[in-house]
Amino acid sequence: MPVPASLMTLLAVFCPLFTAPSFRTFTGLACGFLAQSGKRTVCGMLTGAGLSRIWPHDRAHYFFSCARWNPDDLGIAVAKLVIGLLVPAGETVELLIDDTLFRRRGKRVFAASWFHDGAAQGPAKTGYGNNWVVLAVRVWLPMTSRPVAIPVMAKLVIKDTTSSSRLWLARRMVTRLAAELPGREINVTADSAYAGEELKQLPDGVTWTTRLRANAALYDLPPARTGKKGRPRKKGNRLPSLAKIAAVAAFSQVTVTRYGKTETIAVHAFTCLWYSVTGTKPVTVILIRDKHKTGYDIALVTTEMDPEIGRVIERYAARWAIEVGHRCCPSSWIGFSRLSSLSFFLRFPGFGLGRRPAGAGVVAGRAVPALAELG
């Protein structure tokens, strides 16, 4: 059956990324993914497209294992499509970073290991499988009252290699996307696991917001030069712990909208250096007190200069959208049914990571480690 013109208009954006035969396969699998009401495996997509008795399943497996296309380029194309359609020109692009565990077992599953799994049931928050660092674009849709995170790129964590660092993978994806969006301001929000020396290499126009660890080593800004000989100081004196700062700080009231509610909370913000992470670039630390009467409940840090405190707090709260995405698409990465209204964006599930096919609906190959998901 012919592909609907509205869908084909969007698919045509990806045509330059494939050869002509691969693009035809891509189009068929994309339509099968949208039409399939069951599992979106490789063979499942062929069934959804009505091609299971017309195409050999090897054609679909070959597309992921041997066809000439780059998942990173596909992810960039999807990100630019999402931003072009859903982020008004001139507005800041909001990116979310998080990792999720794709549970897999077997001797031939590439890069599988034990990882932290925050979604695991019970006290043991660990699981065996593949750990993916996901980059999503946060957007607002007219049919929803809360922000939605649309995954556009993903990188596989491979232990005992350079790719074992989730922050390194995240920073590479952000840098690549920023290079494709010249002149656009980009805000990245992540949890406390995504803070380290990699942030010293952020490109211009990119700011990073994350949760601050309680034992973070913070310093005053460097003092003015005294006129004496010698190299000027790069940082000031070491600041007390966050708990001690909160104990004597003067908190002010700020009204924010987060998690679907508008409320007034107490905050205290100050500028300092997080020298081990951002070097000589000043950061703004925000202490939030909304449950306890003393101390603080959570501390945020952002590299944005002179930020609007309320917006930074709302931005971090909106990070929950990517967690909802992981829940809607659990560790099997099968489907995104709860966000079916976004079906015009194509999204491929995790197809498996072995060195060769290990059964129906499982494929392996060089295309998979850089797999880009579309939501």
The arithmetic mean of pLDDT across residues 325-338, rounded, is 45
Band (pLDDT 50/70/90 cuts) for residue 366 is very low
CA distance 303 to 296: 21
Residue 149: its H or E element:
strand 148-156
Phi, psi of 3 (to 5 degrees): -75, 135
pLDDT digits (tens, 9 = 90+) for 72-92: 899 899 999 999 999 998 899
CA distance 257 to 318: 10
Angle at 98 between CA 97 and CA 99, to 5 degrees: 140
CA distance 214 to 90: 36
pLDDT digits (tens, 9 = 90+) for 162-175: 888 999 999 999 99
Pairing of strands 126-139, 252-258: unpaired
Name which residue leads in pLDDT, 119 or 286. Answer: 286
Please give the full DSSP string across 204-261, using - where no structure is assigned.
TTEEEEEEPPTT---BPPPPPP-S-SSPPPSS-PBP--HHHHHHH---EEEEEEETTE
Residue 217 has pLDDT above 90, yes or no: yes
pLDDT digits (tens, 9 = 90+) for 121-153: 777 788 888 888 999 999 988 888 888 898 888
Residue 190 has pLDDT above 50, yes or no: yes
Give pLDDT, residue 328: 61
CA distance 324 to 329: 8
- Residue 21 CA to its chain's centroid (Å): 31
The arithmetic mean of pLDDT across residues 299-322, rounded, is 92
Give pLDDT, residue 361: 27
Pairing of strands 93-103, 206-211: unpaired
Residue 212: CB partners within 8 Å, gap ≥ 6? 192, 195, 242, 274, 285, 299, 300, 301
